[in-house]
Amino acid sequence: MENQEPSAESTQSFGSRLLNVYAAPSEAFDGITATPSKTKFWIVPWLAMIVLGIMSIFIIFSNPVLKGQIEDAQTRAMQQNVEQGKMTQQQADQAQEAMSGMSGLMPIFGAIGITLVMTGYFFVGALVFWLVGKFALKSAEGYGSYLALYGTSSWIAVLGSLVTLLMILGLGSLYATPSAALAVLSDYDAMNSVHRILTRFDIFAGWQAFVIGAGLAKITGKPTGTAIGYAMGLWILWAVGVGYLFGG
């Protein structure tokens, strides 16, 4: 019986795959389509993002300066609704009073919210790229491969979240993120749609989009430039759309 050559999946350790995400993106996705069980590619970074997000929420709410910035942003948002006729001043005052009474629960609500958001990013993000792979790049790969792709690339988001938390704490501002918004940090206005869009143009998000493109090329067998073009284009659309509608 001939000895079979070990696959890329069996020879690439977790540590080397993690290192390749940062240093050699294309190699990080070797073996993803060949392995039957793809859960291990996404479950660890998914959990890491959730844990890091929950930790960040509690750290931020324990900082009086940062907590004050959150409360100020909420007050300004309600006042803007009053000015636009979406609610009365009495309703705004009642809402403000209700939020003040639940201030101790805000970190818990935030932890629940960040868990839902991170889960949405993983599963919806993978779904978007599966649709791109299926209909634009004509690939027969299943959803699991794209979930593995998104999960593997998310180690960049984990690093980005750590850097963001350190910047927020170091500069004492919720808006001190590794993004284009640094250009307007001293005058940042959360109600300004342009400022919000600048926040979404995050260095690590762009890096992750590039790495997703490299993995997309590996999975679909299409030219790297084409796959990266799709990934970067979707990132730009997402940054503008989400920044305009919801902010950071």
In a domain, 5, yes or no: no
Residue 69: half-sphere exposure toward Cβ, Cα within 13 Å: 17
pLDDT of residue 5: 41
List the one residue out of 137, 114, 106, 126 whose CA is nearest residue 56: 114
User: For the segment 127-180, what is each residue's pLDDT rounded down to a tens digit?
Assistant: 999 999 999 999 999 999 999 999 999 999 999 999 999 999 999 999 999 999
In a domain, 11, yes or no: no
- Residue 6 DSSP one-character state: P
Q: Is the distance from CB of 61 to CB of 86 less than 8 angstroms? A: no
User: For the segment 96-131, what is each residue's pLDDT rounded down to a tens digit?
Assistant: 888 887 878 999 999 999 999 999 999 999 999 999
Burial of 153: CB neighbours in 10 Å, binned 0-12, 13-18, 19+: buried
Q: What is the dihedral of CA 185, 191, 192, 197, to 10 degrees?
A: 80
In a domain, 61, yes or no: yes
In a domain, 104, yes or no: yes
DSSP H helices in the chain: 8-11, 14-23, 25-28, 39-61, 64-83, 89-101, 106-131, 143-153, 155-171, 193-200, 203-220, 224-245
Number of domains comprising the chain? 1
Full residue range of the structural domain in which residue 175 is found: 32-245
What pTM value is reported for the model? 0.90
Q: Is the distance from CB of 225 to CB of 235 less than 8 angstroms? A: no
**Residue 3 pLDDT more than 80?**
no
User: For the segment 31-83, what is each residue's pLDDT rounded down to a tens digit?
Assistant: 899 888 899 999 999 999 999 999 999 999 999 999 999 989 888 888 888 98
Task: Please give the structure tokens belonging to residue 140.
Answer: 């027969």
CA distance 248 to 174: 10
**Residue 220 pLDDT more than 80?**
yes
**Residue 246 pLDDT more than 80?**
no
* Angle subtended by helix axes 39-61 and 64-83, to nearest 10: 90
CA distance 246 to 248: 7
